Structure 1
Amino acid sequence: MADADTCRLCTQIIDTHFGPLTAKVASTLLTRGRLSLLQLVRFTGIKSRTVRASIIVLIQHNILWHAHTDDEGEMLEFNTLECLLRLRFGRYVWLAESLFGRTSAEIVQVMLDHGKLRPPDIISRLSRYDPKSASMYVQSLYKLVSESYLKPSTLLSHNSPRDKRIKYEGEEKAKMTGFPTAKELREAKVTAEARLRREEKEAEKVGLKRRMKEQPSARSSKDRVYFRVNFDKFNIHVRNKLIETAVEERFNRSAALVMCATLKATEPKQKSVSEIRSDPTSTAAIGMHIPDDENLSEGLATTSKKPSNASLIKDYLGLLACADNPTPAGKAASYVSLGDNKISVEFDTISKRMRRRVLEAVTRERHGDDGVRIVRLLLDVGKMDEKHIAKVAMMANKDVRPLLSALSSDFLISTQEVPRSADRNPTRTFFLWHVDLAKAYSALLSSFYKTLFNIGVRRQAEQEEPNVKAVLLKRERTDVAEDVNLLTRMEREVLAEWERKREMLSVLEMRVEEAVFILRDLDLGGSVDDV
């Protein structure tokens, strides 16, 4: 089950998108865990027919999982991650339009509105008022499917992966002889996860191939397949943009252009944000993605009067790879790796550094520069006692002690007890401070979910204000929509103020959601527990 902040945020999202009755069903599943239909009816106090309709809606939008057990029968489980991704739907539509054009954006919008659809249903809905535009939508749909921005919806995607993961882990543990070690348990978990992902990919491929074997026509076979939006493919573009922005902030715009070109050169083979590094590419391929009107020499101090683009790209790649610092610190600060005239983007290294930046930013906001100094010290050195921290950080003991307590109360740092006697007497125990990244990131995620919930509550409260509500209702009239001058000067001022507040809240929501993306979606090592 999810924590309290995640439950409130998910319930708010479901209430906004599907209404209060469906939100009550979702809230019951979030707070009580997996339930059967009869249990849902009893705990929600809603009529069975309404509960069934809510379940159908949530399943249609991939927010509920099925789980069948011999003891309990068919159970329903809430898919928290799928629900939280609905906060990015606007960005996904914008990405589709910027990548493929307006028609592709309309297809993605329809898919997000309906959860999953067959190609004929998509085309008929979009070309209802203009039948001649059907061919354009067919071409756009083919491009989205061929490049994996839409993927087939299979039976496996409706089953809870947790059950299969537990089953596969049990099978791996059964192969072990004797008492398993911690390393063997980790390997069993990794093997089970890899097997589960492999099954999901094979199911998506078979979903199309099987239809093609059943039907003589490939077109008629694909018409029977239900498609859904592949969020992972859109998340790749979100990640790449964050990396490009990080390079520009650290170096300059020219370095960001080379980083962007490197990402575009490897983009066709990027399938998921869980990739540790990109496929290798060449300097020539990177140069093809740099616009001809860009002057890369502006960002470097060169000795030659007119260096070639190829040499400039090599210099920038050496800068991004920290080639002048072949130490562990230099490797941890790199963006790409060089080897045998091939360049790879190190997504894992970049993701770790970006998550650490979020941790330091939150620490600075809550506890100032002194808090960041202590967190960085513990991350670099490891476990330290209070006196050693004060000595190395060059701070007074009276200042370090309350700061450590404040950081610990926010779960940014943790303690490790080292008893000197078997009775674990506190007076004979060393207390070492350290940063537990998994715990810190999990606490930050919970805090961000709480912030997102508060933003939604504030937006709703501003909209329900009597003057604003009256103006918004009047604006929905057809005559006012055609002529805004029908609104009085006072009403226009109220509307402008409401739109200003809504824009500010939307910008804040995007920034917080970006931090959530870095902590949760870019967690390649699994340091953050599943919500």
Structure 2
Amino acid sequence: MSSREADLAYELLLEHYGKIVADVARFLLQNGWQPLKYIALKTNMKIDQVRKALCLLIQHKLAKFHVRKKRLVEYEIELRNVMAILFHPKFIYTAKLLYGDTAELIVEETLQHGIIQMSTVIKNVAERLSDEAETLKIENAFKDLVKTHFLQRFVQEAEIEKSENDDEIVPNFTQKETDLYLIPHLSAECNFPLKRRRSNDGNDEPQAKRFKSDNGDISALEDDGVYWSVNISRFLQFFRDQSIVSSVTHRYGTSCGEIVRAMLRISEVTTSANAPTTQPISGAEISRSLPQKLGLPVEHVDQHLKLLLNDDEKIVELFDDAGGGGLYVVNLKNSAFALSTATVLSYVLQRYGSKACRIFRLLILKKHLEQKQVEEFAMIPPKEAKGYLYHMLAENMVIMQEVPRTPDHAPSRTFYLFSVDIQRLSRMLLVRCYKTCTNLITKRKDLNETNRRILEKQERITAIKASLQDADEAQLEEIDEIMTSSERTTLSNHQHCCNKLHTAQNQLLNTIFVLDSYLNSLGAE
């Protein structure tokens, strides 16, 4: 973890959860696993404040805990989940894109609560829609999200560890893989208004628990204790698949892109997020999964698969050639490397120009080259090629390795080989992206603070207009005149700057995602 990453995590937590939570998280990021009392001591906070901050972080899956010694519980920040806060708007938009407005509200409600019961989600979304008839539609959208693994159960308390001389109880949370996507069935009376009801006989015990005690087993209608959360890995996997499809489509056309999309869609649920390849798929199964409007016969599908197999990037590979047609897989590791390489090349092109990018591509292709070989292969004048090469070397974009022919390392008898390390460059650019994202957030906060008076005035004007629904145009114009022309100009400039900052941050998130996915694929080996 770099300091830039920690700074960005602090800014995100400060913006969404407040200063106390952000300060506790920063201390844990700097010091690793720490107990509650030590956190309170070093952050100069009350224990109750730290306890509430940790509860909030744990509920949103931003922190975890374990028992290190007797009666000593330690906490640590889940940095990857904290950084995923950047992608929360994309999570919500993706749910809307795939399953409609109802799914959008479900994912938004789940992200706001961290972990939440299915019945509570349906109740809250139904209240926001103000339509009891939408309850069944909401439940179906929730089930669709669970079936495609965008939502999953939060781990359940399996057992309680308690020593003989210990008064403290530490829960141990475990969950079977098969139970993560098991959907409870809600009865009609539980669906709306979806509140825990008292029975007519005066028994205050929940209905599900009474059903269990009366019949001796857990009811299929039980919802108590079953909590759900957003599956961050599944959303990131979906973004990765979309990036791969876009890359193949840009390189080979729509038909090849749809073939790769079909392969990824078939194995999207059965392939884990850290798997190096997808599940093996036959050509016939790929052909059946393609959209009918594409109109590709089996022969053309085989031709496109052969074209993808001959690609240098090896995104699609032949898993098994037995049985005639063969089995194909999408190599996710090679795909992440190809996307990361394209991102680095784009950076070199924008910063150093097309000729420097040509030299950079040449070093990626040939691995190691001397300066004279670079000049010849790149077909660039020696003086110009030397300038580009040493400029990139000074900024750590290329690496120079000395290979002496004699023990004395004399320059005249030493080979100087230039090369490129994509992994090192990806990590370096990712740190720069974190710094840039932190600066964008800080700049946006500074703009809002500078123009806070005008923004509050605009909100008051909007509230007045909303309250006067039957007002005529003359009254509305009179209300608009509360804000002067100079204030309107300042407000317009403020909105323009904020829009540019949001656009820059969205574009930056794509770069962060590509580089981070590649580095994570290397760590999963």
Class of the TM-score when normalised by the shorter of the 2 chains: 0.7 to 0.9
- Give unmatched runs, 5+ long, in structure 2: 159-172, 186-208, 469-475
CA distance in 2, matches of 1:135, 1:355: 43
Q: Of the candidates 433, 439, 442, which is equivalent to residue 457 of structure 1? A: 442
Query: After the TM superposition, which residues 2-401 of structure 1 pair with which residues of structure 2 at under 5 Å, given as runs?
Result: 2-70=1-69, 73-128=72-127, 130-154=131-155, 203-205=176-178, 216-272=217-273, 274-283=275-284, 286=287, 289-292=290-293, 309-311=295-297, 314-315=299-300, 318-319=303-304, 321-322=306-307, 326=310, 330-332=311-313, 335=316, 337=318, 340-341=324-325, 342-401=327-386
Give the whole-Å Cα distance in 2 for the aligned partners of 1:358 and 1:32. Answer: 33
Letter in 1 for 2:342: R
**Amino acid in structure 2 at the alignment position of 1:97:** K
Q: Contact conserved, 2:248 with 2:256, CA < 8 A, in 1?
A: yes
Q: Measure, in 2, the Cα distance between the counterparts of 1:321 and 1:350.
A: 17
Does structure 2 retain, via aligned residues, the 8 Å contact 1:236–1:270? no
State the match for 1:182 in structure 2.
Answer: none
Count of paired positions: 463
Instruction: Tell me, yes or no, if the aligned pair for 1:63 and 1:78 is still in contact at 8 Å.
Output: yes
Render the CA deviation track for 1:14-73: whole Å, top value 9, x for unaligned: 011001221112222223333222232232222222122111111111111224323994
| Letter of the 2:400 counterpart | T
RMSD between aligned alpha carbons?
A: 3.6
- Choose from 503, 510, 513 the match for 2:509: 513
For 1:89, the aligned partner's letter is H
- Percent identity between matched residues is 20
Pick closer, same or farther for the CA change 1:208–1:359 going to 2, 3 Å: closer
Q: Which amino acid aligns with 2:480?
A: L
Look at both structures and tell me which one has the larger radius of gyration over its CA atoms. 2
Matches within 5 A, 1:474-485: 474-475=458-459, 478-481=463-466
The answer on whether the counterparts of 2:317 and 2:329 sit within 8 Å (CA) in structure 1 is yes
C-alpha displacement of 1:421 = 6.5
Moved more, 241-250 or 437-446: 241-250
Are the equivalent residues in 2 in contact too, given 1:471–1:495 (CA < 8 A)?
Answer: yes
1:82 Cα deviation after fit: 0.5
State the secondary structure of the residue aligned to 1:361: helix
Give the letter for the 2:502 counterpart: S
Q: Is the 8 A contact 1:41 1:48 kept in 2?
A: yes
Distance 2:312 2:417 in 1: 28
TM-score by length of 2: 0.76
In 2, the alpha carbon distance for the partners of 1:441 and 1:127 equals 45
- Superposed CA deviations along residues 414-471 of structure 1, whole A, max 9, x for unmatched, are 23344567787888765433222221111011011111112112222222233x6413
Cα deviation for residue 287 of structure 1 reads: 5.1
Q: Secondary structure at the match of 1:458?
A: helix
Answer whether contact 2:119 2:223 (CA < 8 A) is retained. Answer: no
SS in 1 for 2:73: strand
1:439 corresponds in structure 2 to 424
Deviation digits for residues 202-241 of structure 1 (CA, Å, limit 9, x no counterpart): 64435688x99x9624434554222111122222332232
Matched residue SS, 1:354 = helix
Deviation string for 1:473-513 (max 9, x for gaps)?
A: 43255224467864348355544443333332222212111
Question: What secondary structure does 1:332 align onto?
Answer: coil
Is the CA contact 1:152–1:225 (under 8 Å) kept in the aligned structure 2?
yes
Separation of aligned partners in 2, 1:475 and 1:409:
51
Question: Residues of 1 paired with 2:4 and 2:524: CA distance?
Answer: 16
